[in-house]
Structure formats: C-alpha cells, structure tokens
Copies of this chain bind each other. A is one copy, B any other.
Amino acid sequence: MWNHHVLMERLNVQYPIIQAGMAGGITTPHLVSTVSNAGCLGTLGAGYMNPVDMKDDIRQIKQLTPHAYGVNLFIPEFPSVTKSELKNAELLLDPYRKNLQLEDEPGIKDRENVFDKQIELILQERVPVCSFTFGVPSKDVIKDLKDAGIVVIGTATTVEEAIINEEKGVDLIVAQGSEAGGHRGTFLGPYENAMIGTMSLVPQVVDHINIPVIAAGGIMDGRGVVAAFALGAQGVQMGTAFVTSTESGADAQYKEAILQATENETVITSAFSGKPARGIQNRFIHEMKEYGDQILPYPLQNTLTKDIRKAAAIHKSPEYMSLWSGQSPRLSVGESATKILESIILQAEKVKSGN
C-alpha cells in the first residue's frame, strides 16, 4: 500500500508519515531522528527557537540519523500594543505568577526578526525539508529554499489558504483539520471560520490544488492513515501521537494528561500564545477565557506566559501548562516512537487489506 505515493519520493522516506514539528521542546533531536530512522519524516519544531539552539539541534539530528528530516518554522508577526494594553495583560497573569512564586515580570523587548536567520541556517545546513505555519513565506524565500534542493511544505486550514500556498510555490501542503492539537495554522481571517474537520477539509483541498496534500488532524493510528489516503491525501502528519512517546521532550505531567484525556476535553484557547491552539482544558485556560479580548496578540502573549509555563512544569502543575492535544487522546500510547510507528504501519496494512 505504500509504494505509489509521490510524496515518499519527494521526501525521500519509506512511509509517507510526518511527525509534526511541534514547538516548545517536544521535538528533541532524539525524537526527530528516531522517527526518521523508522523510515518516516521527523521534524524539529523550531518556531520559537533562536538560530544558535536550532543549529545545535540540527547538528545533533544529523549525527543521529542519515535519513531525511524536516524543520518547522513560524512566519513572523510584529504586532504593536500600547503600554496600557501590555500592563493590563501583565496584570491578568499576576495571580499565576504569584502562585508559581515568579518574581520579575518578563517584559517585552523589541523582538528581532530571527526568521531571516532561521532561513539562512536552513540553507547553510541543507536541511532536507522545511515546513511553515501561520502563513506562507515570500516567493523569494520559497525559491531560495527550492533552488537549494530543500522541499517546502506549507500549512492550510481552508481551500483558499491551500490555493495561496500553491500559488506561492510550495511543494506540498499540510491540510490541517479542526481535530488537530496545538496551534491552528489559519492565516486568513478569524480561526472560527476555518475549523473544518479533516473528513471535510482534505477532499475539498485535494480537488482544488495540483500539488500533493498531507492530511493532519485526528490521525493517530493505522485507521487514520488509511482514511486519510482514501480522502485523497498523499501523506499524513501526526503530532499528538508523538507527544507521549518516550523520546518526546514533553514533561511527564503533559504526557500523562494526554494519556488520561477523553475526546471531549480539549478546547481552543489563545491564552498561552495569543494565537488559537487546541489543548486539554485546564484552570489557566478556563480562568483566562473571560479576558479573551485583553490577551495580547501572538507572539507577545507567548513571551508573557513563557516563564509561567516553565515554572508550572517545574512545579508539576499541569493546570498552568499548555497541554496541546488533538481530539483523539484516547488513541495515544506511551511507547517509543519506533514502536508507535511500527504499530501504525502494521495496522494501516491490516486495515487496507482487511476492508
């Protein structure tokens, strides 16, 4: 069932399965390389990383696997807020800071544009695959990457976003359904209008573009993989399935939260980063809900909550952590990524031949 997928040739992988480039320390070089060594595509979630750490991780990945791997980047945004908006957003977080015994407020400096340096590094290191979230890079950046032999993957949550990605020249498109955990990739209009279930999104995107589509959202096992192919996808991207893997850098409490969660416990929140993302409902999300319009835009809110999330992890307090998860946590398993992938591949083959 695997030998006809265009995507495998493009990505130089044995199976058209991509481990999503989740930001925030989940995608350790160990996880990325384990996935790539299993014949799939591991991805470093470098959205929030500075070029120095990113280089370290890429070098480590290269040492750990001879196979293809990817790096995911965020398209940068530079919103401006007034001093009072900033003060207010900080005040909202004060109770949590006190609770977690954090003293200094983080403050927000003028954020340098690390994106250009990240791209430079991708080119220098000849990273095989580079994927993007929160928008589409300029045609020039895409051309530079492609000229260097780097495969470029875009992210879309609607048909229109997929068309824009294709027009700008990306090689492949991840169609992210509403089931997906973590940040919504939506970059056109409010996210509420782009909460399209994977079952609906994938065939409609496939019908409107000519480049291969990678399905994401709710896919956790071999059943999801075969379903995604039936819908017209050439590959799948899975995030939540790998958060609970032994190689993942997620904190023990975070892994445990996913392993214990049910399908109806996730919600969409902007409280952690300023951008909507799906995670397991907890106290922080619940309490911040009423201040929705006072939350700073991405990436400012993310900067403000960074030490809260860090302290919450140290204090083993999942109630204040960002517990990103898709809508299929009941299908999660706490195994090594190698075993997770072996099971997925075996089950996919069984489902495919058994139906």
Contact = CB atoms under 8 A, between A and B. Distances in A.
Nearest to A192: B267
A116 to B, nearest CB: 32
Given A230-B230, A330-B207, A219 B199 contact: yes
Contacts of A204: 263, 328, 330-331
A197 B263 CA distance: 10
Total copies of this chain within the assembly: 2
A231 B352 CA distance: 11
A178 B331 CA distance: 18
Which secondary structure characterizes the binding site on chain A? Answer: loop
Contact of A355 (B177, B178, B331, B352): B352
A158 B263 contact: yes
A355 B197 contact: no
21 contacts: A158-B262, A159-B262, A159-B263, A177-B199, A178-B195, A179-B199, A179-B200, A193-B264, A197-B327, A198-B198, A199-B224, A199-B228, A199-B328, A203-B328, A204-B263, A207-B330, A207-B331, A227-B227, A229-B355, A230-B230, A352-B355
Interface of A: 1, 158-160, 177-179, 193-201, 203-204, 207-208, 217-221, 223-224, 226-232, 262-265, 326-328, 330-331, 351-352, 355
